[in-house]
Chain A
Amino acid sequence: MADTQRPLSPHLQIYKWQVQMMTSIVHRATGIALAVGSLLVVCGLWNLAAGEDSFNRFKSIIGSPFGTVLLIGWSWALFFHLCNGIRHLIQDAGLGYDIPQFVRSSWLAVAGSIVLTVLVWAYVMTAGGVA
Chain B
Amino acid sequence: MSAKDIVVKDRRNPLKIARGLGSSQSGVGHWWSQRVTAAALVLLGVWFVITVLCLLHADYATARAAVAKPWNALLLIAFALTMFWHAVLGLQVVIEDYVHTRWKEVVLLVAIKFLAVLGALASALAVLRIALTP
Contact = CB atoms under 8 A, between A and B. Distances in A.
Main secondary structure of the interface of A (DSSP, over half): helix
Interface in B90-108: 90-91, 94, 100-102
A52 B38 contact: no
Main secondary structure of the interface of B (DSSP, over half): helix
Interface residues of B, number: 34
Interface of B: 35, 38-39, 41-42, 45-46, 49, 53, 56-57, 60, 63-64, 67, 76, 80, 83-84, 87, 90-91, 94, 100-102, 119, 122-123, 125-127, 129-130
Contacts of B101: 1-3
A60 B104 CA distance: 38
B41 to A, nearest CB: 8
Given A34-B87, A35-B87, A131-B57, A42 B94 contact: no
Contact of B100 (A2, A32, A45, A56): A2
